[in-house]
Amino acid sequence: MIIVMKPKTTDEKIEKIKRKMESLGCSIHESKGQNYHLIGLVGDTSRIDPSQIQANRSVEKLIFVQEPYKKANRLFHPEETVVKINDKEIGGNKFSVIAGPCSVESQEQIISIAEDIKESGAAFLRGGAYKPRTSPYSFQGLRDEGLELLKIAKEKTGLPIVTELMSADKLEKFIENVDIIQIGARNMQNFDLLKEVGKTNKPILLKRGMSATIEELLMAAEYVMSEGNEKVILCERGIRTFEKYTRNTLDLSAIPVIKKYSHLPVIVDPSHASGLWWLVEPMAKAALVAGADGLMVEVHNDPANAKCDGQQSIKPERFKALMNTLKQLAKIENKEV
């Protein structure tokens, strides 16, 4: 339920309504704009008599929210959310590109790629330190050493770090060393982990599960936000369908759908979605035009010998060409790369 206050309602009257709603067991989610003031009620609203609220002369109207996600709902927050990371932003009129290798393999490798992508215009450095793999015999990442190498690359280039958190026991280390904590597709419905990252103040990059619906993705975001952390960035990375030619099926329609129902920024991972390096560029351009707020692209200087996902990684020179094209497209879409 959302209480829409009349313009120019005094703070005293608003506080009185908020205290009343809290006394009935609801938590409050406020959203203010230049010409609106919304009081969102989260929790069991069965004890609330709508007619009593509507009788209040300071109330413009009531809106009943049908969707199960509340804080992620655009009704609760009409304006686009912009997540700030140091001096950078994801959302709004920015089109932010996160790039780097699937896995950190060596100091030379991660620094070289970080320097290349920065020169091309990437805003963030991605790299897997702890790798969830389908096979237990596949490369699992350098783990703690990989995280240390990402920190060195950040010191060299100034690029904020994006890397995946696998379990809550590493959370303190991530809070200290990582700029954006990624929750991967396999952990999208790891609700205990979502609650833990929700207690932090770190931006959370939440990837859509390989078989998850849009509503399930938004409900996963709700788990994070319900604990107090509203710095959530959603990521469409392809879903599993009957098609076997590509690794996954990139659901570009999810971008405008999420934008319609949620205020959270949405980025796209064309690398995992397609699984083929030559599809990354057209899917990246399509994502921008479809309304995405950014990309996560896998870049490797030697894909043929990569320890993880070389077949979907593009080389630095192709990434540079892609960035040049994206900058031109962004102008048409009133975005800034």
For residue 128, what are the CA distances in angstroms to 60, 141, 145?
50, 7, 11
Q: Is the pLDDT of residue 168 over 90?
A: yes
The per-residue pLDDT for 131 is: 76
Any idea of the CA torsion for 20, 23, 24, 25, to the nearest 10 degrees?
130
Assess whether the region 2-63 and the region 83-332 belong to the same CATH fold: no
Average pLDDT rounded to a whole number, residues 163-182: 96
The per-residue pLDDT for 146 is: 93
- Which residues, in sequence order, are CB contacts of 66 under 8 Å at separation 6+? none
CATH classification code of 2-63: 3.30.70.1140
The per-residue pLDDT for 164 is: 96
Q: Which residue has the higher pLDDT, 139 or 287?
A: 287
Phi, psi dihedrals of residue 297, rounded to the nearest 5°: -120, 135
pLDDT in tens, 93-108: 999 999 999 999 999 9
Q: Is the pLDDT of residue 157 over 70?
A: yes
**How high does pLDDT run on average in the chain?**
94
The per-residue pLDDT for 135 is: 77
pLDDT in tens, 19-34: 999 998 888 988 888 8
Residue type, 119: E
CA quadruple 325, 284, 179, 204: dihedral sign: positive
The per-residue pLDDT for 47 is: 84
The per-residue pLDDT for 66 is: 86
The per-residue pLDDT for 32 is: 87
pLDDT in tens, 322-334: 999 999 999 999 9
The per-residue pLDDT for 258 is: 98
pLDDT in tens, 255-267: 999 999 999 999 9
Average pLDDT rounded to a whole number, residues 208-225: 97
Average pLDDT rounded to a whole number, residues 162-188: 96
Average pLDDT rounded to a whole number, residues 69-79: 92
pLDDT in tens, 110-148: 999 999 999 999 999 999 998 777 777 677 778 899 999
Query: Which sequence spans correspond to the domains of the chain?
Result: 2-63, 83-332
Average pLDDT rounded to a whole number, residues 167-189: 96
Beta bridge partners of 126: 162
Q: How many residues does the chain have?
A: 337
The per-residue pLDDT for 15 is: 93
The per-residue pLDDT for 241 is: 96
The per-residue pLDDT for 137 is: 67
**SS3 string of the chain?**
CEEEECCCCCHHHHHHHHHHHHHCCCEEEEEECCCCEEEEEECCCCCCCHHHHHCCCCEEEEECCCCCCCCCECCCCCCCCCEEECCEEECCCECEEEEECCECCCHHHHHHHHHHHHHHCCCEEECECCCCCCCCCCCCCCCHHHHHHHHHHHHHHCCCEEEECCCHHHHHHHHHHCCEEEECHHHCCCHHHHHHHHCCCCCEEEECCCCCCHHHHHHHHHHHHHCCCCCEEEEECCECCCCCCCCCECCCCHHHHHHHHECCCEEECHHHHHCCHHHHHHHHHHHHHHCCCEEEEEECCCHHHCCCCHHHCECHHHHHHHHHHHHHHHHHCCCEC
Model confidence, pTM: 0.91
Phi, psi dihedrals of residue 61, rounded to the nearest 5°: -170, 170
CATH classification code of 83-332: 3.20.20.70
